[in-house]
Structure formats: structure tokens, C-alpha cells
Amino acid sequence: MKTQYILKTAAFAVCLSVIAGCASSHIKKGDRYYENMAYANAIESYEKVYYKSPSHDVGVKLADSYYKTGQLEAAAAVYEKVVKVSKTPNIHYFNYAKVLMANNEHAQAKSLLTDYLHFNEGDAVAQMLLASCYSINERFRDTTLFELTEIELEGYENAFSATEYQQGIVFSADKVVYSGRKQNPWTGQSYLELYHMRKDAEGTWLSPQLLKGDINGRFHEGPATFSEDGQTVFFTRSNYYKKKMEVNENMVNNLKIFQATLIDGEWRNLQEMPFNSDDYSVGHPTLSKEGKTLYFISDMPGGEGGTDIYRSELIDGKYWSDPVNLGSAINTGGNEMFPYVHDDGSLYFSSDAHNTLGGLDVFLTYYNGERWVKPENLNYPLNSIKDDFGYTLSENNETGFVSSSRSGKDKVYEYRKFAPKFNLLGFAHEKGNRNPVEGVIVEITEVESGKVIEAISDKEGRFKIKLMHEKDYELYCTKMGCFSRTDRISTKGLKYSEDFYADFIVEPIVIDKPIVLENIYYDFDKWEIRPDAAKELDKLVKLLKDNPEIDIEMGSHCDARGSDQYNLVLSDRRAYAAVQYLIFRGIEARRLTWKGYGETVHVNECGNDVECSEEKHQENRRTEFKVTKINE
């Protein structure tokens, strides 16, 4: 957790003076440490006075120091006191909300962000974080897609950004140190160095080894990326020359990207990338498979805010082009970091301002030929309420590595990636009620291969069939003496596990039993099929196609208003129009007959000269079909 803030702020501090116990007070000591970004030491000084005699100014700096070193519960406790004495919602509200999100307190964070935005409505990052609080449940919609296993590294305090290299991984890590020149003033741990680690024949990780050569120096070395042939590395490091850190006018040491070449097993010939600067940071490089595009992060002027992701192209195999910002579809006013480009061109990165669970989450995007598509959160369990970053994916698209602070420290995790799971859950029941029907035969045909899976409904009318990812299926349900039903199901393009539900209505086939078609209406004195009636007739078309062995008669009925002969002719024309529609939709004419019944068969008392409501008359104006024959 501590290490991530070093690289994710894209700047290193230089503690220019040794602050000894001779300072006039703990607060002055703390302030000097705080100004020099030596937050671990600042905490030690502030704690000696704040918990005895709390003050707003010391509380702000102590809370910030806890936050920047990843002590989130302590930060939340102090921020809570800080915001109580703030007259208007300010940046402390914003920071407190971010800490609460990382502590899984999204409801309280939502309230703080709402208050903050009332006075800072133009803050786009706060707007995104508020949206994240409202959509937090979406991040847990499918927890089966990833399985994470921590790589245990004894003796290392933090480890992150693992990338595959030479049958193993290269990662950045620090260790616990108690004093000396190798102590990082921000965290109190050692500076970061790059290590290589492999597995033995049984799959157990061996002890990490420092990369050999000139690559590991006196200060920080961070995320690295390698060329396809493994002979070139691009890596992040502190801006220093020999043993001296280089700082800008604000006394800040920025990150730079260096390139090195493997010579006789050691990394030599270190070269700065041409877009490095003493005035801003560049880091977190990732190289495309063909080695012609380098993606990285920077807080250079002109970006969207915070750290943005840029790319540079290798020209004629010799020169790197000026950096190009990937644009607002990816970059926000917050921090986008740790880009990783997969062999298929997909870009993965982490952000603390897109729709996250809290802190940094891993997102996926790709270029569709015209633009970068909207980034997609990879969700829990790959992401957590803490920081998740340094994602890589193996060539098999099934395994990889991700870094996370979910345990309280930065750790490297191996993960397995799984396809979403799908099931068809069916219920066979009688028409008009929920009485279960046993013995319904269900056939699922996988369209591409023709493979058939069969199930039979049990005593409770239930059946369950497992479906595969990226498949089209045809469903056929039948029971002897009943109407058969078909349906289509597709799992293509679905990213999350899902259960499909199917009701199979069991309806016995009874010769000459009228079956009313609901919602078949005609205009007054008309017989043409209206669009709304066509939708209902399409259901009958499907039924006839599902049951090719039956012949039917279409019947049309009128109410008692109008002359008997008029109604007889009108109903006959309506029944004929329905049959013609069925033929138009592909039903064989030999299977169809029609008859207009006029007002001769009423279903209620509303005959001639009987006063009835419009609803009663409507019951008699109906279209029916009945099975006239079941063929072999």
C-alpha cells in the first residue's frame, strides 16, 4: 500500500536535510518532514502531539500522511474530525470520501461527495466518484470470472507490477530497513528495485534475484516492459545522476523512463527516452508486441489532469515520436496509471477516477479503428475496494498477474480467468395455471455443431441444462398429445454469468376445441390485418411451425349489433384475411381453412336487442383457431 503512492503520484521527494531531535518542537519536525514528503517520519512527529492536543492544522497533515502511506483506517478517523470543523465542504471532504470508499463505506462517501459537489460542482473527478458510489453493486455482478492467488514473498514489504520474462516474472519491490542511506523517506522502507523470479519443476516460486547490470541503482526502479526477443528493457526509475538525485525548482525528483540492452546476461547501455523531462514525470512503460509503440504515463502539461496515458511510435526503427495523449475517453482529471497492452491490442490500465470500487481499479479498452471505446471495469474479485493495478495477461488469455493492496500492502497475485457460466432453468406447467407437468422432453441443439443435449422435466416440472459460452442454441420442448414449443437462446457476446429462464406451457391438443387468440382487433367495418393483430398472429405462425403435424381452421365472430347477414359476411372476410396472413408468413395453405361465424356463436348473453356493455360485446368479437386434424 505504501509503495503504490510513490509511483502513483509520479513524483519522488528529496529529503534535503537531516531532521534531528534538536528541532524546537514535534510540530516543526513534522511540518519539515511533511513538506519534504517524508510522510512516515511526519506521522511519527505529529502523533506525539495530535492525540494529546488535537489541532485542525496538524490533523489535516496527519490525515494526509496516513492517506499517502496507505493507513486508511487511521486516515478516516482523523479526517472525520477534520471535516467537522470545516466551514464549507473542501478538499478534505473529497479526500475523506476517497478513504471511505477504500474502507467500503460507500454510503457515507456518497453523502460527503454530494456535499462537496454542491460547492465544487465543476469537479469532474468527484462526479465520477459519486457515480461509483451509486453503482457499487454493479462491480459485484459476477464474482466467478477471476480466481486470485497471492504470491508469497518472504522478506519483502511491498511488491507489484509483475510482467512475464524468461519463464518467470520481473517485478518491483522494497524491503524493510531500519536506518541508513537506502531508506525511502516517504515510506521508511527501502527504495524499489527490480527482481526476476522463476518457478521450479513443481511450480513453486524460487527466491527472487536482482536484475544484473546497471539497471538497479541507488534510488527507485519501477515497472518494466521487455521487447519480444527479451534483449531490450524499458523501465521506470528516479531521475538521478550517479549517486545524486536531480530535482526541479520545486525540489521534486520526477520519474523517467530508461532503456537498457542485455549483454552477456547483464543489463547495460542505459539510455534516457527522448521525451523525459526534469519538469514532469514519465513512467510505467508498456511495449506493444511488435515493439513499435510504447505506452506510458505522465503528468506533463496539457493533459486531462493528474497522470495521463500517452503513446510514442518508433520511427524507422531509430527515433521515438513526440508523445500523444490517448484522449478523454481514457484519461480523466484523476490518475490513469500502469498501462498494459496485450498481444491482441487490448489496453488495460488502472484509474482512480473512472467508475471504481475505491482507489485504483483495472479497466479494459481497445481501439476500434476510429476511437478508444469506453473503458470497462473488470470488477470484483480482480478489483477490490483498495488499489488494484499492474495487470498483465498471458498469451493463453486465461492466466496472468495483478497487483493489489487489498491485504494492506502491495502484493502480486496470480490469477486464473474463467469464461462466464450459463444455465437454462426451465419450468413446465399447465396452461392457465402453475401446476407442474412431469415428462416434458427438452432438446437443446447447439447450432454450429449440431450437438443435442436432452433433459426431461421432473415431478416439479423443472429442468436444468448447462450452456456454453459464445454459442447459439435452439430449444425444442414437447410432450405427447400436447403442442410443441421452440425457442432460441444465445450466449454470444455475453460477458457475465447468467441464468436463462424458460416457461414451457403444456397445452393438450384437442380436436375441434376453439382457442381464442387474444388482442386480434379490426377497424370498424374492415377486415384488413392491423399491425397489432399481426403481432398476435405471428405467435400462431410460430405455433404452427413448431407443430407441423396439425391442420387448423381460423374462425372469426362478431357481436350481435348489425344484421345477421352483414356480420356473417364481415366475419368470413376477417377469417379469410387471417388465413392469407398465415400463408404469407410461410404456413402451407393445405393446412388451413377458415369460416366466418357472424353472430351465431356467442360466449355470453349479448344477443340481438340485448343491452350490454362494450366490454361484453368485445367478448363476442373474437378470433379463434381450432385443430381440425393431426397428421401422421
Average pLDDT over residues 43-55: 89
**Rounded CA separation 283/223 (Å):** 8
* Same domain flag for 315 and 446: no
pLDDT of residue 277 exceeding 50, the answer is yes
* Same domain flag for 191 and 330: yes
In a domain? residue 597: yes
Q: What is the pLDDT of residues 343-398, one digit of tens each?
A: 999 999 999 999 999 889 999 999 998 999 999 999 999 999 999 999 999 988 99
Cell, residue 322:
513526440
Q: CATH code at 550?
A: 3.30.1330.60
User: Would you place residue 558 in the very low, low, confident or very high pLDDT band (cuts 50, 70, 90)?
Assistant: confident
Mean pLDDT of the residues in the chain = 88
User: Would you place residue 180 in the very low, low, confident or very high pLDDT band (cuts 50, 70, 90)?
Assistant: low
Of the three residues 485, 506, 527, the one that is the final residue of a domain is: 506
* Same domain flag for 252 and 381: yes
The answer to whether residues 140 and 172 touch, using CB atoms and an 8 Å cutoff, is no
Of the three residues 438, 473, 506, the one that is the final residue of a domain is: 506
pLDDT of residue 247 exceeding 50, the answer is no
Residues 6 or more apart whose Cβ sits within 8 Å of residue 626: 511, 512, 513, 514, 515, 552, 553, 555
User: Would you place residue 548 in the very low, low, confident or very high pLDDT band (cuts 50, 70, 90)?
Assistant: confident
For residues 188 and 486, which has the higher predicted lDDT (pLDDT)? Answer: 486
* Same domain flag for 189 and 287: yes
**Rounded CA separation 477/489 (Å):** 13
* Same domain flag for 182 and 309: yes
pLDDT of residue 83 exceeding 60, the answer is yes
What stretches of 103-239 show up as alpha helix (H) in DSSP?
A: 106-119, 124-134
In a domain? residue 41: yes
Range of the domain at 467: 422-506
* Same domain flag for 218 and 344: yes
User: Would you place residue 580 in the very low, low, confident or very high pLDDT band (cuts 50, 70, 90)?
Assistant: very high
Q: What is the pLDDT of residues 187-240, one digit of tens each?
A: 778 889 999 999 999 999 999 999 999 998 888 899 999 999 999 999 999 876
* Same domain flag for 404 and 465: no
Over pLDDT 90: what percentage of the chain? 59
- Residue 13: its pLDDT value, please? 41
The answer to whether residues 452 and 417 touch, using CB atoms and an 8 Å cutoff, is no
In a domain? residue 148: no
- Residue 187: its pLDDT value, please? 72
pLDDT of residue 429 exceeding 90, the answer is yes
Average pLDDT over residues 407-429: 95
In a domain? residue 279: yes
- Report helix, strand or coil for 282: strand
* Same domain flag for 205 and 336: yes
Average pLDDT over residues 129-141: 93
Residues 6 or more apart whose Cβ sits within 8 Å of residue 326: 295, 308, 309, 310, 311, 372
Q: CATH code at 12?
A: 1.25.40.10
- Residue 87: its pLDDT value, please? 79
Q: What is the pLDDT of residues 491-532, one digit of tens each?
A: 999 999 999 998 888 988 888 888 888 778 777 677 888 888
pLDDT of residue 608 exceeding 90, the answer is no
**Which range is least confidently modeled, 3-17, 136-150, 366-380, 398-412?**
3-17
Average pLDDT over residues 264-272: 93
